[in-house]
Amino acid sequence: MPEPMSSVSFPPSFLWGAATSAYQIEGAVREGGRTPSIWDTFSHTPGRTAGGEHGDIAVDHYHRYREDVALMAELGLGAYRFSISWSRVQPTGRGPAVQVGLDFYRRLVDELLAHGIKPAVTLYHWDLPQELEDAGGWPERDTAYRFAEYAQIVGEALGDRVEQWITLNEPWCSAFLGYGSGVHAPGRTEPAGTLRAAHHLNLAHGLGASALRSVMPARNTVALSLNSATVRPVSQDPADLAAARKIDDLANGVFHGPILHGAYPETLFAATELVTDWSYVQDGDLAAINQPLDALGLNYYTPALVSAAETEVTGPRADGHGASEHTPWPGADDVAFHQTPGDRTAMGWTIDPTGLHELIMRYTREAPGLPLYITENGAAYDDKPDPDGRVHDPERIAYLHGHLAEVRRAIADGADVRGYYLWSLMDNFEWAYGYEKRFGAVYVDYSTLTRTPKSSAYWYGKAARTGALPESDEVF
Ligand code: FCB
């Protein structure tokens, strides 16, 4: 059970950060030689995003980064996780780097460092240069080599000033939502292509990690961020347990198997044998993927509840990954997803902080000795300014409190969690949902692009400054 709202303190070295990603905040999509990424193309394709919304301007962070860094500093944040737009630094996804693009990130990092905020760079948060998609995208092996080259370029440019590196953000979404259900860019719906994409993303991670290490100072750390699911069966019935096993393989094992252990789970091969023969896994790939990691990033929002398709379960079915007539789960037609009971956020995602504790403890067992970071956690609510212009979001404070308390409980239980990045610093382009879903601790008025910290930003800022969760009766 989540702890009651009370003061909970963290180790002094615990890192308190916030996270964003390039396409969701930067805008300036045609500046400095940047070319379209798959998300530019997808969001400009009619019917793909809510209201046809796109990231052309987003929250204009490209021009307002100084203001945004100042805001983080005022709040007292210790770290900032952001991603690099591949199309900004290597517009066609191959060839020489564009210095104007790299200069933007150099300036951003210098601004962060000048304010005492630790930068954490994610190289790939879903925005593949369109030219690489035109050449086949992630189902194509060459994309992994292109990523390694790009990683080297960015590592060379920023490795002297950024210590924390993340190769990929949530490769599950890139592969399974981008090439399976098609609710994310590039919007393809190919069951076999989904698993090919997953393998090539794994390869990209491994080759990218090696490329980074070949050009960066040894003190820098290399990690990746997984949206590893906490998968729960509706019952202990063998059919429901088998359903949970299958989804666990397709959500988690497909990535952590090769990355942490150097092998895909045998049960994954069995579950997907009608979809693919995995012949694209070449000799040497598993060794290339199984690079030592310095840390693992976990992104957590809500648990998954599954059963065998024939199990009768009352209540709505939902897997929380958006509506599509195509499943993101190849080979799992015999599995049903159910709405976990409990209160939900504006995304319809059930609030269950215990799932975060479960996830942390799972990876504490899965990868003993590997430092963990929560690289994303947060909630969308229908935030609106009061007449006095302030934005009160007590639900988000409760969400953050509940989840951070579970992180603290995991640390007490022996987990090595080094930091937490709130998703997100500010409201932004929430992919296929457009601007309607507000995840920010900072409110953005989309007509003026004015930033207003919500009460959760002040709450979180106090937690960051004091290293303890504020008392529940404190007003922000
Ligand atoms: C994660 C993404 C992030 C944001 C949050 C809500 O899956 O990494 O960009 O969309 O979900």
Q: Per-residue pLDDT tens for 252-307?
A: 999 999 999 999 999 999 999 999 999 999 999 999 999 999 999 999 999 999 99
Hey, is 352 helix, strand or coil?
coil
For residue 355, the Cα-to-chain-centroid distance in whole angstroms is 16
Q: Which has the closest alpha carbon to 254: 337, 330, 167?
A: 330
* Ligand 1, atom 10, residue with closest C-alpha: 430
Give the nearest ligand 1 atom to 378 CA: 6
Which residues have a Cβ under 8 Å from the Cβ of 371 and sit 6 or more positions away?
294, 295, 296, 416, 417, 418
Whether 169 has a binding-site annotation, put simply, is: yes
Q: How far is CA 328 from the centre of its chain?
A: 17
Pocket flag, ligand 1, residue 430 (CB < 6 Å)? yes
pTM (2 decimals)? Answer: 0.98
Q: What does the pLDDT average to over 456-476?
A: 93
| CA of 299 relative to ligand 1 center, distance in Å | 8
Catalytic (active-site) positions:
170, 376
* Residue 299 bridge partners (DSSP): 376
Is 431 part of any known ligand binding site? yes
Please write the tens of the pLDDT for every residue from 382-408. Answer: 999 999 999 999 999 999 999 999 999
- The total of other beta-carbon atoms located within 10 Å of residue 343's CB is 10
Side chain identity at residue 195, one-letter code:
L
Under DSSP, the state recorded for 336 is E
- Position 309, amino acid: A
Q: Is the CB of 240 under 6 A from ligand 1?
A: no
Q: Write down the pLDDT at residue 7.
A: 66
Domains of the chain are 15-231+294-301+343-464 (3.20.20.80)
Cβ-in-10-Å burial (0-12, 13-18, 19+) of 410 comes to buried
Q: Report how far residue 29's alpha carbon sits from residue 62's, in angstroms, rounded to the nearest whole number.
A: 9
Ligand-binding annotation for 24, yes or no, is yes
pLDDT at 6: 54
3 falls in which pLDDT band (50, 70, 90)? Answer: very low
The terminus-to-terminus CA distance of the chain in angstroms comes to 25
Distance (Å, whole) CA 222 – CA 210: 9
Where do the H-state alpha helices sit in 78-167?
86-89, 99-114, 130-134, 142-158
Q: Mind giving me the DSSP string for 56-79?
A: SSTT-HHHHHHHHHHHHHHHT--E
- In a 13 Å sphere around the CA of 233, the CA atoms on its Cβ side amount to 16
CB 317 within 8 Å of CB 336: yes
CB of 147 within 6 A of ligand 1: the answer is no
Position 419 scores a pLDDT of 98
What does the pLDDT look like over 432-452, one tens digit per residue?
A: 999 999 999 999 999 999 999
Which residue has better confidence, 352 or 323?
352
Q: Enter the tokens of residue 475.
A: 């007003």
